[in-house]
Structure 1
Amino acid sequence: MPKAPANGVELEYETFGDPDAPPLVLIMGLGTQMTAWPPPFCQAIADAGYHVIRFDNRDCGLSTIVDAPVPGFGDLLAGDTSGVPYLMNDLAADVGGLLDVLGIDSAHIVGLSMGGMIAQQFAIDHAPRVRSLCSIMSTTGAPDVGQPAPEVIMLLLSPAATNRDEAVDRGQKMFETVGSPAYPMPTEELRARIGEAYDRSYTPEGTGRQIACIVASPDRTAALGAVTVPAAVIHGDSDKLVDVSGGKATAAALGVTPLIIPGAGHDLPEALWSTYVEAIVGNAQKAG
């Protein structure tokens, strides 16, 4: 797959569909590689008439892994952000750099979880380049909404796995905790996917720096009120990683009605692919 020099880093990316079709960028979340956007999911959007672009965020997958210490979580909670190497606006600028390399002036922007935060920031900072915005399982950055459940915080802050078996075990525990209770993935399939992700890239320090970015970045609530492009917000009512209050707050800030999916958590179960694709495409079509 190709790499694009963008905003001082290199981003691994892949495309689906007709390059002459309207471009649509998929931005993945915390510590999660672009491969978590399943190829059939991407192809379904492409088949609806879009040129789909997925990529690894910096500090994840095969994109640039930043050479910087991981900020201490205690320091972050105390308000000391001096050691945070980048913020959400930097990750949004990465997206702009990728579009520059691809020769794309503007695109439909879709983000999931931390990817939703990046998508929101891109719509705020780079408004002329956004045709539509779709924020999935995400939040505004306001401290009183969208927070993880206590058991999830413990999992996020646990020491990194030191080998593949540990990583698969811990990944299984995390996904079984935050995944969709109404749409559980078979254990064998879940462990296989976690193992494939580990084999492609395992960068726990990068995930730590991304967490620091989320904590240190400012609240986007007020700025989202200035977003005028068609916007959609999707969230599961059983999300333990980003509480559904985050999706509701995002929708309120954007002035739209959120699509709240019963029994859905913080994942993309195959049974819901058509629901997500229909919402993404429907919103993009509003932009003409």
Structure 2
Amino acid sequence: MGEAIVHVNGVDLCTETFGAPGEPPILLVSGMAASMDWWDTDLCRRLALGGRHVIRYDLRDTGRSVTYPPGAPGYTGDDLIDDAVGLIDLLAGGRAHIVGISMGGAIAQHVAIDHPERVATLTLVSTSTGPDDDLPRMEERIEAAFADPAPEPDWSDPEAVVDHLVEGQRLFAGPDAFDEAYVRGIVRQAVARTIDMESTAKNHAVVKGSGATRHRLGEVTAPTLVIHGGADPFFPPGHAVMLAREINRAQLLMLDGVGHEPLPPSTWDIVVPALLGHTATPTG
């Protein structure tokens, strides 16, 4: 229990675990520009109470993990994948249930495809394989926000950064699901823990990717659960339907009214039993 800095894949990453080490391990992989704070502590505890050893961590350039200058990440998408593999080896005995959200879902796909022996089960949350002609486009308001982004905050002013990030989260939330007080609490916690929020905000977006996975989804052998918001404006639900269709025997859990956002507490009574059921397979 508690945060720890571990040396993996040549860098220092900040991790935190919940539950007994002897229980089946679940590795939680965050999305773009998201520290492990977005895997809510209470959600992690509920999974641990269900008999799981839960591992969350700060991706590079988030939280207290290794950080690079803003706009100049010294790593690639392949390094982020190798970080996850290294954590599975170090903290999970070489095999884990892996749960990835958004960009973390892309990382999880690569781990499942290229390192199948490390993955007992795969859970993909609010993610995709990327844009494709037969997949629905992001909503126009999201495209407009990317084309004309909000002005940067003063990165030296924590409260200005908090306000900026909260408004960014509002944009991606479901139409009736945004709990500003809850989101503000998570954001404030993340900002307080993070070495350099400007690097967090900028660096993942310019990291060289690891290639599309759609043509390789048939190689996924791990039992797969796809969890997706029914009101996701960034990856509309058709992306989840595609994943569930093209990954062999994958199951789909659609969350009504939820957007492209960390799993809100209102979903936990559905999500936690689903994750515990899905990860009941032994990892040994």
Match of 2:232 in 1: 239
Match of 1:60 in 2: 62
Q: Is the 8 A contact 1:146 1:246 kept in 2?
A: yes
**TM-aligned CA distance change 1:235 to 1:103, over 3 Å:** closer
Shift in Å at residue 40 of structure 1? 1.5
What is the RMSD computed on CA atoms of the aligned residues?
Answer: 2.3
Q: Show the 5 A alignment for 1:22-171.
A: 22-67=24-69, 69-70=71-72, 85-102=74-91, 104-144=93-133, 145=135, 148-153=138-143, 155=145, 157-162=149-154, 163-171=157-165
Q: Is the 8 A contact 1:131 1:229 kept in 2?
A: yes
**TM-aligned CA distance change 1:17 to 1:146, over 3 Å:** farther
Q: Calculate percent identity across the aligned residue pairs.
A: 32
Q: 2:78, 2:132 → 1: CA distance? A: 18
Deviations 1:249-283 (A, max 9, x none): 22222132421111111222211012121222222
- Correspondent of 1:217 among 210, 213, 224: 210
Q: Is the 8 A contact 2:34 2:200 kept in 1?
A: no
Q: 2:136, 2:40 → 1: CA distance? A: 25
The number of aligned residues is 273
Match of 2:220 in 1: 227
Q: 1:97, 1:237 → 2: CA distance? A: 33
TM-score normalised over the length of structure 1: 0.86
Amino acid corresponding to residue 241 of structure 2 in structure 1: K
Shift in Å at residue 221 of structure 1? 0.8
| Structure 2 residues without counterparts, runs of 5 or longer | none
Amino acid corresponding to residue 111 of structure 2 in structure 1: F
Q: Is the 8 A contact 1:140 1:249 kept in 2?
A: no
**TM-aligned CA distance change 1:86 to 1:159, over 3 Å:** farther
- Correspondent of 1:13 among 12, 15, 23: 15
Q: 1:27, 1:2 → 2: CA distance? A: 16
Q: After TM superposition, what 4+ stretches of structure 1 lie above 6 angstroms from structure 2?
A: none
Match of 1:280 in 2: 275
**TM-aligned CA distance change 1:166 to 1:234, over 3 Å:** same
TM-score normalised over the length of structure 2: 0.87
Q: Is the 8 A contact 1:16 1:51 kept in 2?
A: yes
Shift in Å at residue 2 of structure 1? 0.7
| Structure 1 residues without counterparts, runs of 5 or longer | 71-83
